[in-house]
Each structure stands twice: as C-alpha cells, then as structure tokens.
Amino acid sequence: MATFVLVHGSGHGGWCWRRVVPLLTAAGHRVLTPTLTGLGDRAHLLSRSTDLDLHIADVVSVLEHERIHDAVLVGHSYGGMVVTGAADRVGHRVAHLVYLDAAIPRDGESVVDLVPHAVSSLKAGVRVVDGVELVGFPDDGPPPALGLSDPEDVAWVGSMLTPHPWATMVAPIRLTGGAAVEAIPRTVLLTPAHPGIAEDRLASARSAGRFHETGLPHDMMVTHPAETAKVLLDAVPR
C-alpha cells in the first residue's frame, strides 16, 4: 500500500480530486487531499502572509503529522511548485514525485519565471481584497485553459474555484536539497499546453522513462479521472 498526497493547483482545493480518490482507494492505497491555505475550504484563512513558503509548509506538515514515509507526492499545475519545495525539505518522506501538467522549478525560479505569458494575463486582473492581492477571480466561470467542456463540470468547478494569492506566483522557490531531490523517482505528464517545463528538463524527463505526453485537458482529474488514476497508480513504487 502506498500513500498518495494529492496537491491541487491555483484556485482549486482538495475537492478537485473527488473523482480520482475512490479509484486509488479501491486499489488499496491511502489518499490525502490537503487544501492549501487561503484556497477552497480554507479560503477564510487567507492573509497577507499567504505565500509559496506557507503552501510548502502546509504539505510538509501533512507529511510529518501523518507520519508518512512512502508518499507518492502529486502536484497539479501550480502544485508542482509546492511538491518540489516539500520534497526538498522532507525528501526522506517521499518515495515518488508526480507532476501532472505542473511547474517543475529550479532553485530561485517563480511561477512568473516559468510561464510569463500565462501569468501576465492573470496579473492584469489583480484585485486587492482585505489587503491581499488576488488573481483568478471566477466571475465568468472556469477559464478555458482548464479544458472543461461538459456543462456539469463547468458548473461544478466554477462554483468551487476561489481567487488565488498573487504572492505565490511571484515568490522564488528556495531549494537546498540539490541532488537528493533530483534523485527522487518522478513521473511527468504533460498536456498540449503544458506549463513551466524548459526544453532541457523535457529531455531529462523523457530519458527518465516515466514521461507521458497526453491529449488530456489540464484539469484531467475532473474530466478524465480513470486515466488520471492510472498514471498515479503506475507511479506506485514496486
């Protein structure tokens, strides 16, 4: 049995894995779906101190307090920043890293550095609420980039999305683990509009043998839970 820790992307929450969790538990695995501070059901905890480091601490805390030492640590989209930081801090608790259409940062890089064009459109919509800069207001429903087409999916996700703290997008990640983090086995799955992966890292991911390019949409855990679960189950250490 493995322990999956599924970390969502910007504007989402632990709720987005709802259709994937039963498929993983049915295969005999434990699954945790933490919601990052200031988002989803923890939106009431949003403050000026909500940044990338706090989100990394959220996941580190889960790994430590749940006494996990065999985590299949999964990051979707922005969650790639978070799981990379968590693995850097408590790599001994991580057996495998999975990047689902996710940012894969190096030390000193931010989301803005990795996907400047995508983030620039978000920056144009920054609003200040209670002293916190927020982006991604779901006023007009889910953004097209999520790849949702089914009306029920659009309605569900649109009702659940929350604005995302801008500070997490501009904060550079600080990594100190070096080769130890790079040595953690990893799976990378990219959709046609994959974010945050430079060509040299694509080459490295391909050579690692656990690299998948897929036609699935960005929010694959919503639209294609079975296919998503298969990728995750294939990442379980043998």
Q: Is 101 helix (H, G, I), strand (E, B) or coil?
A: coil
Identify whether the C-beta of residue 96 lies closer than 8 Å to the C-beta of residue 235.
yes
Structural domain total, the chain = 1
3-state helix, strand, coil in the chain (%, to 5): 40, 15, 40
61 is catalytic: no
pTM for the predicted model, two decimal places:
0.94
Identify whether the C-beta of residue 22 lies closer than 8 Å to the C-beta of residue 225.
no
> Which domain does 72 fall in, by range?
3-234
Closest CA to 51 of 167, 170, 175: 167
* pLDDT (0 to 100) of residue 90: 96
Identify whether the C-beta of residue 120 lies closer than 8 Å to the C-beta of residue 98.
no
Identify whether the C-beta of residue 138 lies closer than 8 Å to the C-beta of residue 11.
yes
pLDDT digit string (tens) for the chain, length 238 residues: 899 999 999 999 999 999 999 999 999 999 999 999 999 999 999 999 999 999 999 999 999 999 999 999 999 999 999 999 999 999 999 999 999 999 889 899 999 888 877 777 777 788 999 999 999 887 878 988 899 999 999 999 999 999 999 999 999 999 998 788 888 999 999 887 665 555 655 666 666 557 788 889 999 999 999 999 999 999 998 7
The rounded distance, in Å, linking the Cα atoms of 6 and 3 is 10
We report the CATH number of the domain holding residue 10 as 3.40.50.1820
Q: Which of 77, 120, 121, 204 is catalytic?
A: 77
Identify whether the C-beta of residue 232 lies closer than 8 Å to the C-beta of residue 20.
yes
* pLDDT (0 to 100) of residue 196: 54
Q: What does the block give as tokens for 89?
A: 């801090």
Q: What does the block give as tokens for 219?
A: 């929010």
* pLDDT (0 to 100) of residue 208: 57
* pLDDT (0 to 100) of residue 222: 98
Q: What does the block give as tokens for 127?
A: 């609003």
The rounded distance, in Å, linking the Cα atoms of 143 and 137 is 10
Closest CA to 92 of 180, 173, 175, 5: 180
Number of residues that make up the chain:
238
